[in-house]
């Protein structure tokens, strides 16, 4: 059964960015926070909690529909998979994403898209993230 990333326990988040570093390292061989598909940021103010912007695994992903070359294809359970060779870096997927979780890697000229691999979940020291089984 497919799994998707969830950020249901962000009230426990201390902003250590381990999830972001893990995502960037595992999926993009880079330790730059900008290369992570998960984005953790403060909700505002000096004493507020943190929030995570993640792919919500749409069943009918607008990002895939916006892609003129079919470089983004639906994955089982929701969300998309990137076929890098087909991508022309038009950025239409970035503006089409309803939650703003897709952004461009301008060095590689491809969008950074969550694979729902769970690497960030395994490395989060405070169990803020989880993988949820979903039906196809």
pLDDT of residue 90: 98
pLDDT of residue 48: 79
Looking up tokens 């909690």, which residue turns up?
49
pLDDT at 118 over 80: yes
Residue 20 burial (CB count, 10 A): 22
pLDDT of residue 47: 75
More confident call, 42 vs 136: 42
Work out the percent of the chain whose per-residue pLDDT is above 70.
100
Can you tell me the distance from the alpha carbon of 82 to that of 7, in angstroms, rounded to the nearest whole number? 22
Q: Please enumerate in sequence order all residues whose Cβ is within 8 A of that of 20, keeping only pairs 6 or more positions apart, or say none.
A: 33, 36, 38, 39, 40, 120
Q: Is 37 exposed, middle or buried (0-12, 13-18, 19+ CB in 10 A)?
A: buried
pLDDT at 46 over 80: no
pLDDT of residue 136: 78
Confidence band of 36 (pLDDT split at 50, 70, 90): very high
Find the distance separating the first CA and the last CA of the chain, reported in whole Å.
7
Q: Which domains does the chain have, with CATH numbers?
A: 3-133 (3.30.70.20)
**Mean pLDDT, range 23-33, rounded to an integer:** 97
**Mean pLDDT, range 94-117, rounded to an integer:** 97
Can you tell me the distance from the alpha carbon of 118 to that of 90, in angstroms, rounded to the nearest whole number? 28
């Amino acid at each position: 059964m497919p799994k998707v990333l969830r950020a249901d326990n962000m009230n426990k988040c201390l902003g250590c960015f381990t999830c972001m570093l893990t995502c960037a390292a595992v999926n993009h061989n880079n330790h730059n926070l900008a290369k992570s598909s998960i984005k953790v940021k403060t909700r505002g103010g000096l004493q507020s909690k943190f929030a995570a912007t993640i792919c919500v695994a749409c069943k009918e992903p607008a990002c895939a529909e916006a892609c003129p070359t079919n470089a983004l294809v639906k994955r089982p359970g929701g969300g998309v998979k990137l076929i890098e060779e087909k991508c022309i870096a038009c950025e239409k997927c970035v503006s089409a994403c309803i939650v703003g979780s897709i952004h461009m890697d301008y060095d590689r000229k491809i969008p950074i898209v969550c694979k729902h691999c769970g690497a960030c979940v395994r490395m989060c020291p405070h169990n803020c993230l989880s993988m949820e089984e979903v039906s196809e």
